[in-house]
Every structure is written in structure tokens, then in C-alpha cells.
């Protein structure tokens, strides 16, 4: 158990819908990363938040957005869902984005299926 | 741009055989981190090792060992006396040492250990 929690574990929805994925980082970790694992794109970085502020963006679609709240949990919002958005979405946390504390601990993932 | 290549898509061996998973990376950074993660059939990502680019010492942890060669930009992973429980997808990843420190993953190698 990494200490990172993600809910829900599974999500099945229809095209055009909007969903919210939730992540709680390990106690003491200020940085949250979101990754998407799909069959065609592999594992890729979406976005990072550090202490409530967006710090870096990767290949995140405009239909997707995220935020980190004062209690440091993070939510990833996916809207106007398409079949191709079906994937495993991971959240990871780390103590800080810099220095030696670079190890990212991954949550169990949320498997999103868009029908 | 950073890139990680795991040329072996799938490997299948018989239990107790030794197996090496290859990882080649590209980066312009002089300081970076290299990682290996294991993804068992249950889906979670399990951290195995992190290596700083300045530390080229090979590392051994039980049946696992890692060979980091900066001259060839490789960070290979060897499992000695493989076991069925080692069956998983293994990912090599690269991270810059500053900034967002997002992980750039290879495509993964699916390792199957047959009894």
C-alpha cells in the first residue's frame, strides 16, 4: 500500500458525459501528479500540482482539467468523454517536486470505461 | 526531449531462468533520475528502484539487479532465478532532476514466467 488513495476504482460511463476522479496523496506529500495509461499512448504524464498550484502540464486535453484543494487532495475532471478516453488514470504523490525527494508513490488507479 | 525505449515488448521464460529487461534513454539533462516500476496483473504501479545519474554503481536487491551505464544511456534490469510471481509489465522511466520532475515512461515489457 503506497498510501495514495484514488476513488472510484472503476467508472463506467457514456460518451459525452463528465466524470471526476479523486486522489488523496500520502500524508505529508505536497505534490500530486496525474498520469493516463491507455493501450495506444502508454503511460503518459497529464498534469502536476504542488501545494495547490499547477506546476506542469503534459499531454492533457482541453476537455480535461484538474485542481488541488487546500487539504491537498486533487480531482481530475474529464468532460465530453470520448471512447478514446477509456484508460487507467493514476495519481502519484511526492514530498516536493525538487531535490532528492523525487520518488513518486502511485495510487491504485481509476479504470475509466467510456461506452 | 526526454525519451525512454524498451525495445522488448514481451518476454517469456521458464521459471528459474535469468532474464534481463533492456532500457535505453535519451535526455539532454546532465542530472536526472532513472526508475523501474512493476505493474502486476492487479494493475497498480510498484516502485522498484530510483537511480541518480551521478551514481553509476550497479545495485542488487535480492534476485533483482540493475546495471546503469551512462556511456550507452542504458539502465537494464535483471531478475535472477525468475519466479512465476515476477510475471508483470515492467516500466523504465526517466525524470529530470529539477522542475516538475514528471516521469517519462517507456512502453513497458510484459514478462511472463512459465512454471
Query: Which grid coordinates are listed for B104?
Result: 517519462
Chain A nearest C-alpha distance from B100 (Å): 6
Amino acid A99: pLDDT:
44
Closest partner residue to B44 among A35, A48, A106, by Cβ? A106
| A58 close to B (CB below 8 A) | yes
* Residues A5 and A71: beta-carbon distance below 8 Å: no
Pairwise CB contact (< 8 Å): B105 & A103: no
* Residues A74 and A68: beta-carbon distance below 8 Å: yes
Of all residues in chain A, the percent with pLDDT exceeding 90 is 82
For A23-58, the pLDDT digits (tens) are: 999 998 999 999 999 988 899 999 999 999 999 899
Q: For residue A97, what pLDDT band results from cuts at 50, 70 and 90?
A: low
Handedness of CA B11, A112, A93, B98 (dihedral sign): positive
Cα angle: B83, vertex B107, B98; to 5 degrees: 105
Closest partner residue to A90 among B45, B95, B106, by Cβ? B45
Interatomic CA distance for residues B91 and B97, integer angstroms: 19
Pairwise CB contact (< 8 Å): A103 & B37: no
pLDDT at B81 over 60: yes
Which of B113, B76, B95, B64 lies closest to A98, judged by CA? B95
pLDDT at A103 over 60: yes
- Which carries the bigger pLDDT value, residue B109 or residue B98? B109
| B48 close to A (CB below 8 A) | no
Find where cell 551512462 sits.
B70
Pairwise CB contact (< 8 Å): B101 & A98: yes
Q: What is the mean pLDDT of residues B76-103?
A: 91
Pairwise CB contact (< 8 Å): B37 & A102: no
* Residues A45 and A35: beta-carbon distance below 8 Å: yes
Interatomic CA distance for residues B74 and B79, integer angstroms: 16
Lowest-pLDDT range, A12-16, A20-24, B29-33? B29-33
Chain B nearest C-alpha distance from A52 (Å): 14
Chain B nearest C-alpha distance from A115 (Å): 21
Query: Which grid coordinates are listed for A50?
Result: 504542488
Minimal-distance CA residue of chain A relative to B35: A103
pLDDT at A102 over 70: no
- Which carries the bigger pLDDT value, residue A108 or residue B101? A108
Q: What is the mean pLDDT of residues B72-100?
A: 93
* Residues B90 and B36: beta-carbon distance below 8 Å: yes
pLDDT at A98 over 60: no
* Residues A89 and A34: beta-carbon distance below 8 Å: yes
Interatomic CA distance for residues A22 and B28, integer angstroms: 34
Minimal-distance CA residue of chain A relative to B6: A42
* Residues A87 and A112: beta-carbon distance below 8 Å: yes
Amino acid at each position: 500500500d503506497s498510501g495514495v488513495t484514488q476513488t472510484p476504482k472503476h467508472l463506467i460511463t457514456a460518451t459525452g458525459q463528465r466524470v471526476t476522479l479523486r486522489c488523496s496523496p500520502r500524508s505529508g506529500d505536497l505534490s500530486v501528479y496525474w498520469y493516463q495509461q491507455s493501450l495506444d499512448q502508454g503511460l503518459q504524464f497529464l498534469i502536476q500540482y504542488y501545494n495547490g498550484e499547477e506546476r506542469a502540464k503534459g499531454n492533457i486535453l482541453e476537455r480535461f482539467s484538474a485542481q488541488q484543494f487546500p487539504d491537498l487532495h486533487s480531482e481530475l475532471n474529464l468532460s465530453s468523454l470520448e471512447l478514446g478516453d477509456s484508460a487507467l488514470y493514476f495519481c502519484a504523490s511526492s514530498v516536493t517536486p525538487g531535490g532528492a525527494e523525487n520518488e513518486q508513490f502511485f495510487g491504485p488507479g481509476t479504470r475509466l470505461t467510456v461506452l | 526531449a526526454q525519451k525512454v525505449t524498451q525495445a522488448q515488448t514481451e518476454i517469456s521464460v521458464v521459471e528459474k531462468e535469468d532474464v534481463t529487461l533492456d532500457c535505453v534513454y535519451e535526455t539532454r539533462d546532465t542530472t536526472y533520475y532513472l526508475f523501474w516500476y512493476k505493474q502486476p496483473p492487479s494493475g497498480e504501479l510498484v516502485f522498484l528502484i530510483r537511480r541518480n545519474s551521478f551514481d553509476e554503481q550497479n545495485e542488487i536487491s535480492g534476485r533483482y539487479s540493475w546495471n546503469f551505464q551512462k556511456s550507452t544511456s542504458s539502465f537494464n534490469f535483471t531478475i535472477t532465478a525468475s519466479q512465476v510471481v515476477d510475471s508483470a509489465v515492467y516500466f523504465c522511466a526517466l525524470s529530470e532532476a529539477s522542475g516538475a520532475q514528471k516521469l517519462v515512461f517507456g512502453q513497458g515489457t510484459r514478462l511472463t514466467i512459465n512454471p
